[in-house]
Amino acid sequence: MADKTIWRNVATLVRRAPWLVQTGRVFWRIHQPRFTAGVVGVVFNQDEQILLVEHVFHPHRPWGLPGGWIERREDPATAVARELLEELELTVEIGPLLLAELGYGNHLDLAYMCEIKGEIGTLSSELLDYRWINPLDLPRLHNFHYNAIQQALTIRNGMEL
């Protein structure tokens, strides 16, 4: 009963001074971890080849899946569709989430299966080139990109995640 009385007193205080809740949220948020988040799309063509792009800003492993950063309050599936449109002028339909992984530092990567709905247009300044690659001939990729492709191949071969 004493616990209930304490919480009743806290509720009364919060109702009289609602700014305490906002202040508490600010202090709580300060102590929470910060994350960056990125998305990539695994896109297949009609010949079962995978779309890879050559990134300007990836010096060690320039070839990888297309994608980019998730904007503040942006839905990740919306982000991958936006990134492919911005970087390749490519329209895709977003499929299932293939992989989510906490990487270096506090960076969260998400990979989605994507179905191609158009043709590749002009590349953005962030990309040097693109290629459709047979999954057996993949170049050296970031581990996350490789693992996302393997998950996509598992799904395409009729196996569940």
Would you say the C-alpha torsion 108, 87, 66, 117 has a positive or negative sign?
positive
User: Residue 52 falls within a domain, yes or no?
Assistant: yes
pLDDT at 123 over 70: yes
Q: Which two tokens stand for residue 107?
A: 């960076």
Radius of gyration of the chain (CA): 22
Question: 5-38: per-residue pLDDT in tens?
Answer: 887 787 788 788 888 878 877 777 677 667 889 9
Could you list the beta-strand ranges (E) of 16-70.
36-44, 50-55, 63-64, 67-69
Question: 63-95: per-residue pLDDT in tens?
Answer: 999 999 999 899 999 999 999 999 999 999 999
DSSP label of 106: T
| Residue 65 sits in the same domain as residue 141 | yes
Please tell me the predicted confidence (pLDDT) of residue 1.
58
* Nearest alpha-carbon partner for 66 in 78, 77, 52, 76: 52
Q: What percent of the chain has pLDDT over 90?
A: 66
| Residue 86 sits in the same domain as residue 134 | yes
Contact between 94 and 116 (Cβ < 8 Å)? no
Please tell me the predicted confidence (pLDDT) of residue 113.
97
pLDDT at 129 over 60: yes
| Residue 40 sits in the same domain as residue 8 | no
pLDDT at 4 over 90: no
Contact between 68 and 56 (Cβ < 8 Å)? no
| Residue 3 sits in the same domain as residue 73 | no
* Nearest alpha-carbon partner for 85 in 98, 95, 94: 94
pLDDT at 153 over 90: yes
Question: 106-117: per-residue pLDDT in tens?
Answer: 889 999 999 999
pLDDT at 159 over 80: no
User: Residue 69 falls within a domain, yes or no?
Assistant: yes
pLDDT at 60 over 90: no
Contact between 144 and 103 (Cβ < 8 Å)? yes
Task: Look at 59 and 151; give whichever has higher pLDDT.
Answer: 151
**Integer Cα distance of 154 and 157 in angstroms:** 5
Residue numbers of the domain that contains 68: 36-156
- Map residue 100 onto helix, strand or coil: strand
Q: What percent of the chain has pLDDT over 70?
A: 95
**Please, where are the H alpha helices in the chain?**
2-16, 19-30, 76-88, 143-156
User: Residue 161 falls within a domain, yes or no?
Assistant: no
